[in-house]
């Protein structure tokens, strides 16, 4: 065999080996991709009428029953009932529509324990009418690409689903109660009046040329950014109304909204047990704790904060 023929033969063999190596690797990747389902669960959220979230037994908390009604969604737990907070509900329904895992953490007891998916530590969701049925929600991974560990009834795999799913499924009944402060559509707000301790006060007022502070032109971009943040801010926690009988009003806010018959009024009170908030958007029994260091400065800003510089 000539040197030229030998080189051609060697090149042909090398190409064939390369092709086999690539195809073998390609087959392996396809096989790996097919070791777990592309969709873990699919739910027709428009047709969904109810579902149940059972907290992990270690939490010693009662189950949460959600039912769709004419006002949206209601939540009941251990004999108590409330309209469900719409914002997390919308997030939850969006997640439930299609749950697509990005990988499998493994199987077996050790993996389930690591990801808090054993019987005692897993949160369970019962979803009638979904493509899956009963879903277990466990812990999450760390790092920039956070994923939540999940299992589906009848499947031994621990799946990793993008995002922090358990931030919503881990909410308590009190967390699900909406706690309005000053909410609505700021595009309908014409005047916001602030009263500070010592009866110092000022008003933001909409005019043809933009927003003003006590009649002086303000930086409308700053005002609108603040109002949008304020309109989406809800309280947290609940206090016993009986603990506020000796409350002293120290801050107040009045919002005149064209879409409402009455203005929205928020009062911040000082009590022996701390600062509290009451809003006319909330029922009379709803008393919300306030962190004076974090929340007061977020809601009650001085007029200089809105002036044009």
Q: What is the pLDDT of residues 8-61, one digit of tens each?
A: 444 554 444 443 344 344 333 333 444 668 889 889 999 999 999 999 999 999
Average pLDDT, whole number, for the chain? 87
Give the 3-state DSSP-derived string for the chain, with helices as H, strands as E and coil as C: CCHHHHHHHHHHHHHHHHHHHHHHHHHHHHHHHCCCCCCCEECCCCCCCEEEEECCHHHCCCCEEEEEECCEEEEEECCEEEECCHHHHHHHHHHHHEECCCEEEECCHHHHHHCCCCCCCCEEEECCCCCCCEEEEEEECCCCCCEEEEEECCCCCEEEEECCCHHHHCCCHHHHCCCECCCCCHHHEEEEEEECHHHCEEEEEEECCEEEECCEEECHHHHHHHHHHHHCCECCCCECHHHHCCCEEEEEEEEEECCCCCCEEEEEEEECCEEEEEECCCCCCCEEEECCCCCHHHHCCCHHHHECC
Strands 41-42 and 50-54: unpaired
Q: Which one-letter DSSP state was computed for residue 188?
A: G
Write the pLDDT tens digit of every residue in 269-309: 999 889 999 999 999 999 999 998 889 989 999 999 999 77
Q: What is the pLDDT of residues 233-266, one digit of tens each?
A: 999 999 988 877 789 999 999 999 999 999 999 9
CB 129 within 8 A of CB 43: yes
Region of residue 216 (left: phi > 0; alpha: psi -120 to 50; beta: else): beta
Which residues have a Cβ under 8 Å from the Cβ of 97 and sit 6 or more positions away?
Answer: 42, 43, 45
So what's the pLDDT on residue 24?
Answer: 41
Q: Which two tokens stand for residue 288?
A: 């919300």
Closest CA to 235 of 186, 290, 168: 290
pLDDT at residue 145 in the model? 85
Token pair recorded at residue 128 = 């009638």
Spatial CA neighbour of 123 closest among 169, 167, 62: 169
Residue 14, helix vs strand vs coil: helix
Mean pLDDT of 62-75: 95
User: Can you give the pLDDT at residue 26?
Assistant: 37
- Dump pLDDT digits (tens) for 142-162: 878 899 999 998 899 999 999
């Amino acid at each position: 065999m000539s040197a030229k023929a030998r080189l051609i033969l060697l090149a042909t063999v090398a190409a064939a080996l390369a092709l086999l190596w690539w195809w073998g690797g390609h087959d392996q990747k396809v096989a790996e991709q097919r070791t777990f389902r592309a969709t873990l669960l699919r739910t027709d959220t428009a047709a969904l009428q109810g579902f149940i979230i059972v907290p992990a037994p270690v939490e010693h908390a009662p189950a949460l029953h959600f039912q769709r009604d004419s006002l949206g969604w209601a939540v009941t737990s251990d004999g108590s009932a409330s309209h469900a907070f719409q914002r997390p509900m919308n997030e939850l329904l969006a997640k439930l529509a299609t749950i697509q895992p990005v990988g499998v953490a493994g199987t077996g007891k050790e993996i389930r324990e690591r990801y808090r998916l054993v019987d005692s530590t897993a949160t369970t969701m019962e979803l009638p009418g979904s493509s899956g049925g009963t879903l277990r929600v466990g812990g999450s991974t760390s790092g920039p690409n956070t994923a939540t560990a999940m299992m589906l009834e009848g499947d031994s795999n621990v799946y990793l689903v993008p995002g922090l799913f358990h931030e919503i499924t881990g909410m308590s009944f009190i967390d699900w109660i909406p706690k309005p402060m000053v909410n609505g559509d700021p595009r309908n707000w014409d005047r916001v009046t602030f009263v500070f301790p010592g009866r110092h006060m000022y008003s933001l007022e909409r005019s043809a040329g933009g927003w003003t502070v006590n009649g002086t032109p303000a930086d409308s971009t700053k005002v609108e950014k603040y109002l949008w943040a304020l309109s989406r801010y809800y309280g947290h926690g609940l206090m016993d109304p009986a603990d506020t009988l000796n409350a002293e009003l120290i801050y107040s806010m009045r919002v005149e909204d064209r879409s409402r018959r009455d203005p929205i009024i928020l009062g911040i009170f000082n009590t022996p047990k701390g600062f509290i908030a009451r809003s006319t958007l909330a029922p009379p029994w709803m008393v919300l704790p306030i962190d004076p260091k974090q929340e007061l400065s977020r809601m009650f800003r001085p007029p200089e904060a809105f002036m044009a510089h």
